[in-house]
Structure 1
């Protein structure tokens, strides 16, 4: 007995329905997506335009922040970088006086968070005379000489 060998049809995948679904998904996402434009603030940091003689005040709170974010209050280094430690040191030094100047001097490489924390402590304690020291611009200094 001889069996006839049936010829197999080549298997093909019809891609037309797949392409239709992909195009429908593409149209759906294009219609439902909202595009937002990110806005950025341009910040121009201050420089001292001329050397102004600061009035010599006998009492003031000097906060010095080094490049690592370590605080020093009136020359006394603090044990850590926690805002609460800075707050306690300022309260101990200032007592009930809130009208004395609160001067922040930070290294150029200081993390921004350390400066903001020092400013936040001043605001929480109610200091009204907050100052941030700057240095005279090198370009302006050279042109004056």
Structure 2
């Protein structure tokens, strides 16, 4: 004699508990996303509080138009392009000077970051110490157009 089951198994799956889990995850991610800061923040660059006692003998200036001027030993600044600046910095690197010698870079606040990095990279290629100045150069050492 064959016995038949009274209950038949249903092949369907209940999604009610799955939707509850999905809604809980959604609420969790919505709450935790408020803790994430946006990536486009205003960056205030730090001000230098320490000043060096040494005065730079070589200065490089970049004005807001992107023109580059360079001077050595308190002479009149001369306008030059990147190739001429590379030659100028190469001559400065070949001169026998003290270990504490460095080159001050004065850049207008409107100068693009890329231009400033190119100038600093030229100094790094010549193994020179370059310092980005945070205070204006003395009036006697600035290019004639800035006086």
Provide TM-score, normalisation by structure 1: 0.51
Counterpart in 1 of 2:70? Answer: 73
Residue pair 1:106, 1:115 contacting (<8 A) in 2 also: yes
The gaps in structure 2 that reach 5 residues or longer are 1-37, 137-147
Partner of 2:88: 89
- Quote the offset at 1:42 in angstroms: 6.5
CA RMSD of aligned residues (A): 2.9
Displacement of 1:107 in angstroms is: 0.7
Task: Report how far residue 130 of structure 1 moved.
Answer: 2.2
Structure 1 partner of 2:118: 117
Deviation at 1:47, TM superposition (A): 1.6
1:39-84: CA deviation from partner (whole Å, max 9, x where unpaired): 66864312234xx553144x6321111111111111422233xx22
Equivalent pairs, count: 93
Could you tell me which residue of structure 1 aligns to residue 52 of structure 2?
A: 54
Give the TM-score of the pair, scaled to structure 2.
0.51
CA contact (8 A) 2:93 2:126 kept: no
Cα contact 1:78–1:86 (8 A) shared by 2: no
Q: What's the offset of the Cα at 1:94?
A: 4.2
Map 1:1-145 onto structure 2 (within 5 A): 43-49=43-49, 54-57=52-55, 60-74=57-71, 75-80=76-81, 83-97=82-96, 99=99, 100-127=101-128, 129-135=129-135
SS at match of 2:80: coil
What is the CA distance between 1:85 and its match in structure 2? 1.7
The whole-number CA distance in structure 1 between the counterparts of 2:65 and 2:112 is: 7
The 3-state SS of whatever aligns with 1:105 is strand
Deviation (angstroms), 1:110? 1.2
